[in-house]
């Protein structure tokens, strides 16, 4: 039976200088269904693939609104995500109440990363088993951040997390240079194409299994969005128009989708 | 680890321990303290006090003035106290009321601005944010029956918008193009209003300065807790500056003709 001597306690380094509990937490993120984030000069967007446990079950919520100007997509343990999104909401409210200022996105992400880092260092705790993509806008424009349970947070032009997210990443790496000047419709189309790469062979994106989160001015397919372009989550019928803009895979440049690394299942490196 | 089962499973307080940094045993105690432990320390009245602060908006920003006196009752105890204080680059606050509480507010804001500076992410606190913060602190303190005994004006410019607002020891806030605290709210405010209101956007800095100088002179004649030495702060998009102390030229010839009280013998 596989047994690892150095993984029973997150504060103990292995002889290779690794913290196994933290690495397991990163694996938990890879178990969750994929989420993709992209940023242009005017917008940040999230796209996520929702799962349902069966024909009779509803689809699990993948996106959460933190404040008018910030939203997240999650991959990993939903219960941990609810704890952390609650925390982020409190931080956002606190900034609004104390300074009458929407919390700057980078500060919120750093705060939640600091909180997660403590759990990788103290005895008797476990790391959070969830990763976020965070989008938001503040005085310095739209932003996209990744948060991971190791306590890292980075800003990105485009990023993907979750199961088979490497395939989406490959797509994003190929096209990211065009994202900055994209309009919202093209940006979402790129996002949908990237998200499609994470699907299993016989699956397709549809209005039930796809969520779109947007920060920035309204799209031509949206109604009743205030001019400030607050964070909103589009689901169901509202994303039909966006799904319609996708270009079928066959007609596309065939280069994409290299060796899907099959990280659907947990595979510890080493 | 805390081995006492009674301390397990206590909800954390995110307001105090946002990062969950402390092991359970070392977490701050959030329960009630002894009812009398702080009772005798509450501020019941101001001791060393400053009088009015005046402020007006003009074309390019905000101008604020306060004299240099800190009184001990009716005694003119300290004659070179600065009651205007810059916070960051584009905000100035002016205080009347208890000067020790004002000094506390200054150090509190200094700490806040250092924290903000250390983030080094391009986000700064402007006058509106500082005013909101002060309002929350003042209201929180009054709710603990231990107010910071001040009336404060906050003025500044951020993103091309000038800002001027009031907050006092109760946490009361309001905003206007002319503001005055203390005795000045009775004596100077009507003068400021008639000179400024409706042409805030036309007044030049020189005109604004003239209005402030005139009002400070009237206040010195009328307010027995004032002194003929004051400073003027000017905040524009270029930043804030606080002048050196200015001494008022005043005449008291007319006093010779006043009869009915004082040291006259006939």
In chain A, whose CA is at the least distance from the CA of B130? A99
Tokens (6 digits) for A30: 């890879």
For testing the chain B interface, which of A83, A94, A101, A102 should be mutated: the one with the most B CBs within 10 Å? A101
Whole-angstrom distance, CA of residue B60 vs CA of residue A101: 24
Find out whether A243 and A205 touch, Cβ atoms under 8 Å.
Answer: yes
Q: Is B43 a catalytic residue?
A: yes
A114 touches chain B (CB under 8 A): yes
User: Tell me: the pLDDT tens digits for B215-228?
Assistant: 999 999 999 999 99
Range from A89-103, A227-241, B2-16 carrying the lowest mean pLDDT:
B2-16
For residue B5, pLDDT beyond 50: yes
B182 in the Ramachandran plot: left (φ > 0), alpha (ψ -120 to 50) or beta?
A: left
Say whether B128 and A139 touch across the interface (CB within 8 A): no
Residues of A whose CB is below 8 A from B123: 104, 107, 138-140
Say whether A115 and B18 touch across the interface (CB within 8 A): yes
pLDDT band at B39; cut points 50, 70, 90: low
For testing the chain A interface, which of B1, B123, B173 should be mutated: the one with the most A CBs within 10 Å? B123
In chain A, whose CA is at the least distance from the CA of B122? A140
User: Tell me: the pLDDT tens digits for B117-159?
Assistant: 999 999 999 999 999 999 999 999 999 889 999 999 999 999 9
Whole-angstrom distance, CA of residue B126 vs CA of residue B129: 5
Say whether B23 and A122 touch across the interface (CB within 8 A): yes
pLDDT band at B31; cut points 50, 70, 90: low
Percent of chain A beyond pLDDT 70? 91
For testing the chain B interface, which of A92, A100, A153 should be mutated: the one with the most B CBs within 10 Å? A100
- What is the per-residue DSSP string for chain A? ----TT-S-TT---TTS--HHHHHHHHHHHHSPPEEEEE-SS-EEEEEE--BSSTTSPBPP-EEEEETTEEEEEEE-HHHHHHHHHHHHHHHHHHHHHHSSPPPHHHHHHHHHHHHHHTTTSTT-----EEEEEEEEETTEEEEEEE-TTS-EEE-SEEEESTTHHHHHHHHHHHGGGGGG--HHHHHHHHHHHHHTTS-TT----TTTEEEEEESSPPTT--S--TT---EEE-GGGGHHHHHTPPPGGGS-TT-------TTS-----
Record: fold of B49-247:
3.60.20
Residues of A whose CB is below 8 A from B20: 115, 118-119
Q: Nearest by CB to B20, which of A118, A123, A138?
A: A118
Whole-angstrom distance, CA of residue A138 vs CA of residue A151: 23
Say whether B23 and A90 touch across the interface (CB within 8 A): no
CATH match of A20-245 with 3.60.20.10: yes
- Which residue ranges make up each domain of chain B? 49-247
Instruction: Name beta bridge partners: A132.
Output: A74, A147
Q: Which of B6, B21, B43, B181 is catalytic?
A: B43
For residue B11, the model assigns a pLDDT of 57
User: Tell me: the pLDDT tens digits for A66-119?
Assistant: 999 999 999 999 999 999 999 999 999 999 999 999 999 999 999 999 999 999
pLDDT band at A252; cut points 50, 70, 90: low
Please name which of A153, A179, A233, A247 lies closest in space to residue A43, comparing C-alpha atoms.
Answer: A179
For residue A193, the model assigns a pLDDT of 97
User: Tell me: the pLDDT tens digits for A202-218?
Assistant: 899 999 999 999 999 99
Tokens (6 digits) for A169: 């990443």
Enumerate residues 135 to 164 of chain A having a beta carbon within 8 A of any beta carbon in chain B: 138-140
Structure pTM? Answer: 0.86
Say whether A90 and B119 touch across the interface (CB within 8 A): no
For residue B193, the model assigns a pLDDT of 97
pLDDT band at A11; cut points 50, 70, 90: confident
CA torsion B49-B154-B133-B128 (nearest 10°) is 180
B20 touches chain A (CB under 8 A): yes
Residues of A whose CB is below 8 A from B18: 87, 91, 111, 115
In three-state secondary structure terms, B138 is: helix
pLDDT band at A258; cut points 50, 70, 90: very low
Say whether B19 and A104 touch across the interface (CB within 8 A): no
Whole-angstrom distance, CA of residue B218 vs CA of residue B83: 19
A14 touches chain B (CB under 8 A): no
What is the rounded average pLDDT for all residues in chain B? 89
Predicted ipTM?
0.84
A95 touches chain B (CB under 8 A): no
């Amino acid at each position: 039976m596989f047994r690892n001597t150095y993984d029973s306690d997150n504060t103990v380094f292995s002889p290779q200088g690794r913290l196994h509990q933290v690495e397991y937490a990163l694996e938990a993120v890879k178990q969750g269904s994929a989420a993709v984030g992209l940023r242009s000069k005017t917008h940040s967007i999230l796209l996520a693939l929702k799962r349902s446990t069966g024909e009779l079950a509803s689809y699990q919520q993948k996106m959460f609104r933190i404040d008018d100007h910030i939203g997240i997509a999650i991959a990993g343990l939903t219960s941990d995500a609810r704890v952390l999104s609650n925390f982020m909401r409190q931080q956002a409210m606190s900034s609004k109440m104390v300074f009458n200022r929407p919390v700057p996105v980078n500060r919120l992400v750093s705060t939640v990363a600091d909180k997660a880092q403590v759990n990788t260092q103290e005895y008797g705790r476990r790391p959070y088993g969830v990763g976020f993509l965070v989008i938001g806008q503040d005085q310095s424009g739209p932003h996209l951040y990744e948060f991971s349970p190791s306590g890292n947070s980075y800003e990105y032009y485009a990023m993907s997390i979750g199961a088979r997210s490497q395939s989406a990443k490959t797509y994003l790496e190929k096209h990211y240079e065009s994202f900055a000047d994209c309009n919202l419709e093209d940006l979402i189309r790129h996002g949908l194409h990237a998200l499609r790469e994470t699907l299993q062979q016989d699956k397709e994106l549809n209005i039930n299994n796809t969520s779109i989160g947007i920060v920035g001015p309204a799209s031509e397919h949206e109604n009743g969005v205030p001019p400030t372009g607050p964070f909103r989550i589009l689901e169901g019928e509202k994303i039909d128009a966006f799904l319609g803009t996708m270009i079928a895979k066959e007609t596309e440049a065939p280069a994409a989708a290299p060796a899907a690394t099959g990280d659907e299942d947990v595979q510890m490196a080493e | 680890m805390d081995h006492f089962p009674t301390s397990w499973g206590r909800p954390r307080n995110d307001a105090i321990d946002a990062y969950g940094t402390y092991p359970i045993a070392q977490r701050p105690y959030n329960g009630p303290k002894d009812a009398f432990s702080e009772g005798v320390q509450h501020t019941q009245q101001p001791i060393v006090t400053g009088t009015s602060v005046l402020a007006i908006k003009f074309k390019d920003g905000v101008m604020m003035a306060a004299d240099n006196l800190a009184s001990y009752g009716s005694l003119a105890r300290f004659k070179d106290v600065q009651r205007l204080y810059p916070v960051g680059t584009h905000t100035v606050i002016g205080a009347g009321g208890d000067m020790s509480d004002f000094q506390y507010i200054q150090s509190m804001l200094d700490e806040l601005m250092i924290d903000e500076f250390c983030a080094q992410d391009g986000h700064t606190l402007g006058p509106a944010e500082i005013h909101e913060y002060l309002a929350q602190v003042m209201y929180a303190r009054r709710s603990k029956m231990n107010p910071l005994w001040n009336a404060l004006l906050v003025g500044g410019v951020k993103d091309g918008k000038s800002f001027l607002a009031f907050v006092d020891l109760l946490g009361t806030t309001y905003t206007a193009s002319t503001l005055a605290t203390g005795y000045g709210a009775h004596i100077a405010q009507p003068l400021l209003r008639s000179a400024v209101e409706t042409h805030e956007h036309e007044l030049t800095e020189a005109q604004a300065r003239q209005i402030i100088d005139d009002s400070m002179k009237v206040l010195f004649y009328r307010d027995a807790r004032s002194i003929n030495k004051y400073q003027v702060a000017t905040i524009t998009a270029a930043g804030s500056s606080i002048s050196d102390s200015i001494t008022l030229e005043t005449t008291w010839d007319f006093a010779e003709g006043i009869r009915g009280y004082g040291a006259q013998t006939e």
